Every structure is written in structure tokens, then in C-alpha cells.
């Protein structure tokens, strides 16, 4: 449990998230219209709500797999050391792949994951992030699709946590410490 008391101020409503996912799913469905099956790779744990809503909106045959990578642990700042805790179960060689990330902050995690996946020779490899914090970027990377660009705030909700709390919020909220 976080040691300092905090409140959460809503930044992006559940309704806005749903509308943006509909838009993004149309673009992705168009991009991958010729695929026989899109492998949608969710980066655990923060992307699980986003990936569930996204794949339900895609007008494509999809296969879902997960990879767990982190550079945060329970901290509010990236350690910049990316660790893979869970690898894919399926093969992606010669397949169309979409990597789903909850938030691109420094960019180290997504860069590391893409290097790992590119070494497995997918046919096409693209990325989508629900949230993007361009002001925090340290690695030269931008997701192919971005849900929302946000300022440098610590956020929770819609699958994103603070020390394993607040993932269940239906919106994106900013953490504000009260002392």
C-alpha cells in the first residue's frame, strides 16, 4: 500500500476512452485489413483493460497473447532497467503483430519489447499506446497509434496501477498526494 495518502482527480472519462477506442479500432482494422489473423500482444499488467476493449472493437480475426515487462515495480519513477517476467506463449514469425501498451513514458520498456519481438521476425509489427507522455521520453520511440497524449502526471485507472491499486477505475485519473 502507498505510504502517503492521496486522492485521484479524473483526467479522461470512461466515455472519452470508449469513443477513442472506437476511432483507433477503425484505423487498425483498415491497416490490417488483409491479415489472416492479427496477433494482439498486450503488455501486462497495465494494458489488460485496454486490450480487452480494443479487441472487441476490431473488425478482424485476432489472437491475443501477453508479455509482461516492467521498469517500474511499485515505484512512481522508471528504473530504466527493463525486465521480462512473462514471455509470449505463441510464435509470431511471419505474423502480423500489434503491441498494446498502457502508457509510453520514458520509452525504455516499449523499445526493449520491440527489439525482442523484432528478433522473432514478424511480418508486420506496429504499436498502440493508450497514453503517451512525450515530455518524459528518453528513448527515440513513438507508438504508431496513441489514444491520448498527457502531461507529466502520475496516472491510474483503466488498468493502470499505483502499487497494485486503482486498476479498476473506469477512467484515467491523476494521483495527487494530500500531505
Burial status of residue 81 (CB atoms within 10 A of its CB: 0-12, 13-18, 19 or more): exposed
Strand partners, 40: 64, 98
What the block records as the C-alpha cell of 62 is 485476432
Contact between 174 and 6 under an 8 Å Cβ cutoff? The reply is no
Q: How far apart are CA 132 and CA 106, in angstroms?
A: 10
Tell me the HSE value of 175 on the side-chain side, using a 13 A CA sphere.
20
- Count of CB atoms within 10 A of residue 7's CB? 10
Q: Which residues are catalytic?
A: 105
What the block records as the C-alpha cell of 164 is 497494485
Cα Rg of the chain (Å, integer):
16
3-state secondary structure of 15: helix
Amino acid at each position: 500500500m502507498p505510504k502517503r495518502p492521496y486522492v485521484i482527480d479524473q483526467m479522461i472519462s470512461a466515455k472519452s476512452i470508449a469513443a477513442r477506442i472506437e476511432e483507433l479500432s477503425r484505423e487498425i482494422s483498415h491497416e490490417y485489413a488483409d491479415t489472416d489473423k492479427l496477433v494482439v500482444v498486450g503488455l501486462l499488467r497495465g494494458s489488460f483493460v485496454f486490450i480487452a476493449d480494443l479487441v472487441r472493437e476490431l473488425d478482424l480475426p485476432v489472437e491475443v497473447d501477453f508479455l509482461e515487462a516492467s521498469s517500474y515495480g511499485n515505484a512512481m519513477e522508471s528504473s530504466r532497467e527493463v525486465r521480462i517476467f512473462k514471455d509470449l506463449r505463441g510464435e509470431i514469425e511471419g505474423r502480423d503483430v500489434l503491441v498494446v501498451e498502457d502508457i509510453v513514458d520514458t520509452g525504455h520498456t516499449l523499445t526493449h519489447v520491440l527489439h525482442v519481438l523484432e528478433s522473432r521476425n514478424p511480418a508486420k509489427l506496429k504499436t498502440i499506446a493508450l497514453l503517451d507522455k512525450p515530455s518524459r521520453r528518453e528513448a527515440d520511440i513513438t507508438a504508431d497509434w496513441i489514444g491520448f497524449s498527457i502531461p507529466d502526471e502520475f496516472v491510474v485507472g483503466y488498468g493502470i496501477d499505483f502499487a497494485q491499486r486503482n486498476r479498476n477505475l473506469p477512467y484515467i485519473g491523476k494521483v495527487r498526494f494530500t500531505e
